[in-house]
Amino acid sequence: MTPPKIKIESLDFYYNDHRILSDINETIPENAITAILGPSGVGKSTFLSLFNRLWETTPAARAEGRVLVRFSRSFMDINAPKFSVVQLRRSVGMVFQMPNPLPMSIFNNVAFPLKLAGIKKKEEVRSRVTTAIQACGLWPEVKDRLDKKAAVLSGGQQQRLCMARALVMEPEILLLDEPTSSLDPKSGKMIEELMVRLKQRCTLIMVSHQPDQVKRIADHVIDFTPGPES
């Protein structure tokens, strides 16, 4: 197993007074695919939201405990008050269950995070967008229509475009919440193959409902399936 990228220590998570996650202690290996498994409602998406602090957008939510991420050499507690959430979200990309392209061109969809980050040099933007689209195996399918609306793409192509949009910031961690469950089997297989290739570039954490998918591509599994006593 590769060295740890993330360490979760004594983590409790609440919505109002309702405890969703209790005393979680886990390690997530770097440059590997970690799968989060379990039935609906056990807290898999909530667990995923710890790593980009997306949970903070829910007013009733509260996390206690430590989420330590290794950036460069040292582990940092991403919940510490002085830790920049803007910086965190540049290092942690996310892909959702339903492809969610923005209502703009294929090119601008992938360039959008660069614009937000203040990266304006045309050559740099073009080169990073091209590299990200190529990394997602989408280049041959879109290279002649980069100025067309992203909505013209199929669902599978849109999902790979969303992965390119996440990758253009060269994230260290990529979160994926059931990334293939809205896709046909062929598109799902392409996303799986892409995830396996992406291990060279980043650490992947994926929520999955599909045990066969987890067997095929996961290197490490965190299973939230309740035991018989609970």
Give the binding site for ligand ADP (CB under 6 A): 15, 20, 38, 40-46, 58, 60
Tokens coding 89: 């979200």
Nearer Cβ to ligand ADP (48/167): 48
Give the shortest CB-58-to-ligand ADP separation in angstroms: 4
Q: Between residues 42 and 76, which has the closer beta carbon with respect to ligand ADP? A: 42
Q: Are 96 and 48 in contact (CB under 8 A)?
A: no
CB of 41 to ligand ADP, least distance (A): 4
Nearer to ligand ADP, 20 or 221 (CB): 20
- Give burial (CB, 10 Å; 0-12/13-18/19+) of 127: exposed
3-state secondary structure of 107: helix
State in angstroms the smallest separation of the CB of 57 from ligand ADP: 9
Distance CA 76, CA 55 (A): 18
- Of 1 and 60, nearer to ligand ADP (C-beta) is 60
Tokens, residue 177: 């919440």
5/44 with CB nearer ligand ADP: 44
Distance CA 95, CA 181 (A): 12
CA–CA–CA angle 81, 205, 94 (5° rounding): 65
What lies within 8 Å, CB to CB, of 206 at 6+ separation is: 33, 34, 35, 36, 175, 176, 177, 178, 179, 195, 218
Virtual torsion, Cα 119, 145, 150, 124, nearest 10 deg: -10
Distance (Å, rounded) from C-alpha 150 to C-alpha 105? 5
Task: Closer to ligand ADP by CB, 108 or 208: give it.
Answer: 208
The least CB distance from residue 169 to ligand ADP, in Å, is: 25
- Shortest gap between Cβ of 212 and ligand ADP (angstroms)? 19
Shortest CB 13 distance to ligand ADP, Å: 9
